[in-house]
Chain A
Amino acid sequence: MLNYLRNLGRLAIHTVSVLGRSGVFLAQSLIGVPDVRNGFPLLLKQLYAVGVLSLVIIVVSGLFIGMVLGLQGYNLLVDYGSEQAIGQMVALTLVRELGPVVTGLLFAGRAGSALTAEIGLMKATEQLTSMEMMGVDPLRRIIAPRLWAGFISMPLLAMIFSVVGIWGGMLVGVDWLGVYEGSFWANMQSSVSFQDDVLNGVIKSIVFGFVCTWIAVFQGYDSVPTSEGISVATTKTVVYSSLAVLGLDFVLTAVMFTAF
């Protein structure tokens, strides 16, 4: 019994200290004068690795999810004779929910795990320590560009996902199932509001990008420097990021889309 209590307490203290460490880590990486001349090429390289290389998976999944939404929506709506509302359904689902959430999940799997493994391996092979020896701050040189790249790429990826998804929905609804294109767009435009739907979706994706990148980079930096430690850290990244995205999505939806 006493042992059980002791373990519980240890777990609580451990959790709190990890949270605190990750907060300090985030502050140390982001605060400080950015070195534009040397930092910008590093940021570009990370934007390429984190953002551009994630484009393929984002575009392909967006296309398929949009097409599935179009098919399912058509089958449901055609019973009520209102299949022209398919544009509205596809657009609202993608812009409000699926765009940011699925992009967040894919981003955690594609870019987050890569970030964790890369930084974890740097730590295991003592590259981070040797940088400190040479007087280079690894937080500024390694971590900060990766964090910023994640923050910038994620909203862009989510918007591309939504647009491709809507295009996929149109492909199925208009070109394949024969919904009239004019009412497809008109219904969509009269029901999707820029401020309430599009901007809230973008805010969601910014929050998800922030959380996913933070978790990924911190897990790599905080990993046990062995091959097993890196694998544990990579798993943790994907699990924690996915849970954080889904949980935060509920909270954000409750705040943004409740009428009162």
Chain B
Amino acid sequence: MYNRTIEIVVGLFIIVGVGALAVLAFQVSGLSTKMDTGTYKVYAQFDDLGGLTVRGRVSMAGVTIGKVSDIVLDKESYMALVEMELYGTVDNLTTDSNAAIQTAGLLGEKYISISVGADEEYLVDGDTIFDTQSALNIEKLIGTFASGK
């Protein structure tokens, strides 16, 4: 029946369209439902972010273990306060862990690299990492070198 074919084709069209939205959501923008359930927040203060942005990667040994969820200026210490969302599965970071801002390649994006210390206690939700290392500022380095200080 003619009408029936049209119904089926239009139904397929709508399914494909909604499927396209799903692809855009999950494949292209990396929206993931399981990430929301198991994350905890950790804070760190840096002197200089050097181009780190929200949604930047937080990694350990090159493996992504979370993302930068917020960046604000701490008005009292005049330092950048970075809020990181780490996956709940990585729950054994020691309290004396080190957070360093690094660059992927020479010109790539900035990300936070975390390396663990030797403490017996682990970071929990809301803790702050005190041992931090700011971004390597190439202009500052060249400036120091050029002025011979």
Contacts and interface: CB of A to CB of B under 8 A. Distances in A.
Contacts of A197: 29
Interface string B13-30: 110111011011101111
A95 B30 CA distance: 14
Nearest to B16: A160
Interface in A232-254: none
Contact of B24 (A80, A152, A159): A159
Interface residues on A, range: 20 to 34
Contact of B10 (A48, A80, A155, A190): A48
Given A189-B28, A194-B31, A52 B9 contact: yes
A185 interface: yes
Interface residues on B, range: 20 to 34
Contacts of A155: 17
A163 B23 contact: yes
A114 to B, nearest CB: 16
Contacts of A193: 29, 55
Contact of B27 (A47, A55, A153, A185): A185
B14 to A, nearest CB: 7
Contact of A194 (B16, B17, B20, B29): B29
Interface string B33-71: 000000000000000000000011100000000000000
A162 B6 CA distance: 25
Contact of B13 (A45, A156, A185): A156
B17 A156 contact: yes
A213 to B, nearest CB: 16
Interface of A: 41, 44-45, 47-48, 51-52, 55, 80-82, 91, 95, 152-153, 155-157, 159-160, 162-163, 166, 185, 188-194, 197-198, 202
8 contacts: A81-B107, A95-B24, A162-B24, A163-B20, A188-B30, A189-B29, A194-B25, A198-B21
